[in-house]
Amino acid sequence: MKNLKTYLSLLGLAMLFAACEAVVDVAPKDKMTTDVALSSLDGLESAVYGVYERGRNNFESNDVCMYKVCQTDIVMAGSHIADQAIFRAILAMDYQFNGSNAGVTSIFDGYYIGINRANLMIEAADKVVFEQTDANIARKNRALGEALFFRAYYHHCLVTKWDKIELILEPNIDPNAEFVLEGPDEVYPAIIADLEEAIELLPEAAAINSVGRVSKGVARHLLSKVYMDRSEWAKAAALAEQVVNDPAYELVTDIDAIFSIENQNNKEIIFSWQFSSSDNGHPQRVTQQWYPLYDRIEGVDRTLAQGGRPWARIHPSEYYWSLFEANDKRLEAWHMRRWYFDSQAELDARVEEPSNIQVGDLVTPENIGGAAGFGVLTIVPTTDKYKEDSDLLGKDVGAAEGFRNIIQYRVAEAYLIAAEAYWRAGDLNKGLGFINAVRTRAGVEGFTTLTDNIILDEHARELGHEGHRWEMLKRMGVLVDRVKAHNPDAGPNMQNFHTRWPLPRTFVDLSGVPQNEGYTE
């Protein structure tokens, strides 16, 4: 018990120092203490970047950048998932998906680092001495609101995956205190309290004018999701509607623009994790995971327009594609379903039939040739929501990293939350209004009633592969059945206990708590 408490506390403290030193001019840096780093408004504001960093960090890892989209009914493994054993185990829940999985450990520990950083800021905020002007008070409130938001966000990420977690609400943990895992009934009230306070302290989204910083709108959106988890439909509906009506946001009618790298600050986006080629050593690793090995086809070059460097680790499942009507605008706008011959030199040298292929022709199963032994696996259709189809952001066609922002929350999700929450609260007509606004934008006919399956299907069509599916399936009690029915890789391995992830082996060993049921490691 003592070792775990000390470990969590020191881990968060050390990482806060690193985050502060990157932005705060303190000399000598090797002598900096927490009190010095957080003794001023400048220090408090700089420290908040370390709190953000723990959320962004997962997207920088090849092994865990896609963990939130795994283990659902709308994904399947790509042809080269075996190249990443850690990711493969998470995706398919195979024999290596256990407490010894390094990805499970890094996600779990990373969120606790974020919580400890937030706790240090929250404690320091009341001790900061500054001139009491309106502007300075607003600066302090904003930094404190961000820390409260992320303490809630990280606890929410933990409790949804693990169910029973350590709820940590202060930075100075008594190493002799009894260690207790707490469940949703204890954790959620703390999350709600943090978000309610954050909403009071944070500025409105319109005042920030940046989708990369937390605002009242971001906190309201997460709180609406928390109330959905708790089946508090009226509260969820009211908050979601408030987000929908926020003048900073709108349901963008040009759906091609929502995920465009040329329009990463559009009004559809509530919050996104920020990346840049100028942020040395911190690219995101999501983009390349989704694309099949199209460049193995003779006559098809590797280009950014056709997907850049492909890794073929993960793809949408066949079930996912079955959900779309042919005229749904999202089908064309948000997916890559076709590849084209674009290399005359390779076509001239091609010896495989057919020999009459021209540059610009569509690649089909009939003209694909040997495709280096991969055949039709080289043209598996996929999502385009993470595309970097030009070098606008500095991406190189041979690079395995990308620099586009990763969208965390979109206003379309608020519409769907409002639709479900109003329906479950007994107001079908109001619920239909929200879900049909999303349907109308997609160019398809609206619904006249709502059911669990209608809501689940529309959720997949609109928010597929954005990282919200697993939590929703779990909340609605259909995760196990859906994965078994529609996920060809995780389905055969899926058991009832998989609705709760394994605790990291190091955590179990240090704390003395039992491993979650069903896991042997």
pLDDT score of 24: 28
pLDDT score of 394: 92
Inter-residue contact 76 to 320 (CB < 8 Å)? no
Q: Which two tokens stand for residue 247?
A: 């003048």
pLDDT band at residue 5 under the 50/70/90 scheme: low
pLDDT digits (tens, 9 = 90+) for 6-21: 555 545 444 444 443 3
Main-chain phi, psi angles of 183, to 5 degrees: -95, -175
> What is the assigned CATH class of domain 2-202+503-510?
mainly alpha
Asked whether residue 386 carries a pLDDT value surpassing 90, the answer given is: yes
Could you tell me how far CA 462 lies from the centroid of its own chain? 15
Q: What is the pTM of this model?
A: 0.94
Asked whether residue 414 carries a pLDDT value surpassing 70, the answer given is: yes
**Residues of the chain with pLDDT > 70: what percent?**
92
pLDDT score of 113: 93
* R_g over Cα of the chain: 24
- SS3 at position 51: helix
Asked whether residue 323 carries a pLDDT value surpassing 50, the answer given is: yes
Averaged pLDDT score across all residues of the chain? 92
Each domain of the chain, given as residue ranges in start order, spans 2-202+503-510, 278-404
pLDDT band at residue 423 under the 50/70/90 scheme: very high
Mean pLDDT is lowest, of 27-36, 83-92, 112-121, for 27-36
Mean pLDDT is lowest, of 28-42, 104-118, 135-149, 316-330, for 28-42
Query: What's the average model confidence in pLDDT over 261-269?
Result: 95
**Residues near 455 by beta carbon (within 8 Å), at least 6 away in sequence:** 416, 419, 420, 423, 435
List, as one string, the DSSP characters of 19-51. HHHTTS--SSGGG--HHHHTSSHHHHHHHHHHH
| Residue scoring higher pLDDT (520 or 322) | 322
Query: What's the average model confidence in pLDDT over 104-114?
Result: 95
State the sign of the Cα–Cα–Cα–Cα dihedral 307, 77, 107, 32: negative
CA gap 490, 481 in Å, rounded: 11
Angle between helices 452-463 and 428-441 (to 10 degrees): 30
Closest to 261 in 3D by CA, of 74, 391, 108? 391
pLDDT score of 351: 84
**20, burial (CB in 10 Å: exposed 0-12, middle 13-18, buried 19+):** buried
Q: Which two tokens stand for residue 205?
A: 């989204």
pLDDT score of 15: 44
Main-chain phi, psi angles of 406, to 5 degrees: -105, 115
Closest to 518 in 3D by CA, of 178, 186, 163? 163
- CA-CA distances (angstroms) from residue 285 to 56, 58, 97? 11, 9, 21
CA gap 112, 399 in Å, rounded: 31
Query: What's the average model confidence in pLDDT over 404-432?
Result: 98
pLDDT score of 21: 34
- SS3 at position 79: coil
pLDDT score of 9: 52
Could you tell me how far CA 165 lies from the centroid of its own chain? 20
Q: Which two tokens stand for residue 114?
A: 């974020």
pLDDT band at residue 38 under the 50/70/90 scheme: confident
pLDDT score of 37: 67
* HEC secondary structure over 329-350: HHHHHCEECCCECCCHHHHHHC
Q: Which two tokens stand for residue 196?
A: 């309610």
CA count, 13 A, side-chain hemisphere, 247 = 4
Helix then strand count (H, E) for the chain reads: 20, 6
Mean pLDDT is lowest, of 179-183, 214-218, 462-466, for 179-183
Asked whether residue 4 carries a pLDDT value surpassing 60, the answer given is: no
As beta bridge partners, residue 75 has 316
